[in-house]
Chain A
Amino acid sequence: MPDTKPAVQLDHISRHYKMGETSVRAVDDVSLSVAHGEYLALLGSSGSGKSTLLNLMAGLDRPTSGAILANGVNLAALSPLDLARYRRNTVGMIFQSFNLLPRMTLEENVELPLRLAEVERSERAGRVREALERVRLTHRVGHRPAELSGGEQQRVAIARALVNRPKILLADEPTGNLDSATGETILSLLRDLQAQLGMTIVMVTHERPLAERYADRLATMGDGKLLGTSPARTGAAQ
């Protein structure tokens, strides 16, 4: 169940881009709070700023103004090195196009964050197996991503996001490249992880019906602004 203290808190966040002479307000004065263990879906049409907002939460981008507090730490004030550490240890991220490294086997892809976190070699194999078991993909670990279906690839990506045991999982259109049945399996998997590990999940999607069935709460964006939040029909999919 959601904790009272927020896992992520956005305080008057803006992100402006310069495009030639004009300034684009990708995110415009957004304040939002995501509770511990909450499953939040960010909805909106393309260009609404939802992915930019997710990147800001992921520490991949910095806000033009405002503060992002993740577990009480202001990301805007972190050094580049600390921000990298935050991406490594506090958040896990999955993408619409999976972003697995094509030259590496599944095992090696999942192991990559452990290398970056300088986890001892002896410990790695166990952690990789554990993560792959969570996504129910213990076979074909020696295969390369291209040899797997889209759904399997996304499960590998989820295992990779989980392997460093982060508290927050950020998903950018995780079902965008999948057929609806496979998409539902992935969302159901995320829902299980939320329940089993107590993870906070923020998912960007434009598929409102799916979001309504799996997320706890929906936040809708338009033109860089947060239009409003509403509780989803939780439990509908279970």
Chain B
Amino acid sequence: MKPQDLTDLALRNLREAILRNALTTLGIAVGVASLVAMLSLGVGLQQLASKRLSQSGLFDTIFVTPKNNFRGMGRPQREVDSDKPVRVLDNDARHELEKLPNVIEVYPQVRFFTEVRFNNKPYATVVAGLPDSSRNSGAFDGMQGNFFSSSTANEAILQIEFAKDLSDKPSSLVGQELTLRYAERQAIPTVGSDPSSSAAEPGGFSVVPKELRLKIVGIVETEPAAGYGGYGNARLLMPLETASTLRAAQVNDLRDIVRGSTSNKTTYPSLSVRAKSPSQVEALEASIKNLGFNAFSLLDASKSLRTFFSVFDLLLGIFGSLALAVATLGIVNTLVMAILERRREIGVLKALGAADSDVQQLFFVEAGVMGFLGGIFGVGFGWLLGRAITFGTNVYLKRQNLNPIELSSVPWWLVITALVFAVLVSLAAGLYPASRAAKLNPVDALRYE
């Protein structure tokens, strides 16, 4: 039979038992809908996580430390090539890193433990400098107030928990001022050197208490992502350049003095190198290691995240497919019933010259049409279900004073895949009924009343 006639007859047959076939199709639609809803949640969550992570800058950032860095209490010292001189992270190294290809910026970690005064009460906290590029980090998307007006402004962004410590109404803090008290390093002048030089502290340094007034410009709801050596633990954030000019005493200062660092220049405990895109991180990491530094990036973590989501999607897919599997039993049932009902008709078709393959194809097309229609409705239902879950979640998030999120996502590939899958599964379900119908003995079928 020609495809057009085959489809025509199949549609005619489907219309004939409209209720039963509609219910079967609905079953497939529910199956496909559950599959699409599950996968759309998986895809949505993955996109959400990827977006957050790429915004956080963790995946395009490489953390550089000197090779002789202490590894920690009680842990053995990292083995260092004794041939090569140990390289320190000083300004020369910083410039060298900046000149590497695909580097956007290189910035030091400035973080120190100090005291903040607000309303004449002291609060102890960790202060960290934020590079200006953090402006685009997802962590500041839903903040109260604004990001720093400039990279040298005397401004501060508080973390919400710290803001709650300072005031019962954290939001009222924006616009107010606080006082930062910190320990400034001042070089002990030696004969013949310029005491104003910040870089040279050959004879050690003295620590002088200083104060700086900072205007509170914003409050971050969520803690900015704490990477390796990140600023996650800091509760008061200020522009990096402002923080650098303070020359506040940092944790490693004492260590460097004790070690009697051979260099008489400023050294950094670590530097963060930002690549143009995460895809360049791996190559950049290798060239930094070639320069003689330790380099670490979260790219590996990103890889394992992708693996996690693949497994997650697979599990969601399996759960979603269960409903579809039940629906395929519905197809088998409906078509087997149809064979019983249309036994005589199959006999007539064969008597009129229909080949076994004609009868088989007829049932096949019927199964395929039910699968296709079920697939279309299912994708629609699934999309609606995803929207409903997103809506419900966002209502909940709003009540918790959190920002709305896009929980489900139905990309085109999911629509196409779901349709193809629905048709294939339906055709597979039609295999047995179709072959049974094709094998029907016409003499028996015609005798059947």
Contact = CB atoms under 8 A, between A and B. Distances in A.
B351 A87 contact: yes
Contact of B446 (A99, A160, A164): A99
A160 B352 CA distance: 9
B442 interface: yes
A87 B5 contact: no
A130 interface: no
B353 A118 contact: no
A117 interface: yes
B443 to A, nearest CB: 5
B352 A112 contact: yes
A60 B414 CA distance: 48
Interface in B396-448: 442-443, 446
Interface residues of B, number: 23
Interface string A93-116: 101000101011000000011011
Contacts of A61: 442-443
Nearest to A161: B352
Contacts of B1: 115-116, 118
Given A60-B350, A115-B1, A115-B2, A84 B443 contact: no
Nearest to B438: A80
Interface residues of A, number: 26
B348 interface: yes
A117 B354 CA distance: 8
B63 to A, nearest CB: 72
B9 interface: yes
Contacts of A134: none
B355 A101 contact: no
A85 B348 CA distance: 15
Residue in B345, B348, B349, B442 with the greatest tally of chain A CB atoms within 10 Å: B348
Given A81-B355, A85-B353, A89-B353, A115 B348 contact: no
A104 B349 CA distance: 13
22 contacts: A55-B443, A60-B350, A60-B442, A61-B443, A80-B355, A80-B356, A84-B353, A84-B356, A85-B353, A85-B355, A87-B351, A87-B353, A88-B353, A93-B352, A95-B446, A112-B349, A115-B1, A115-B5, A115-B9, A116-B353, A117-B353, A118-B1
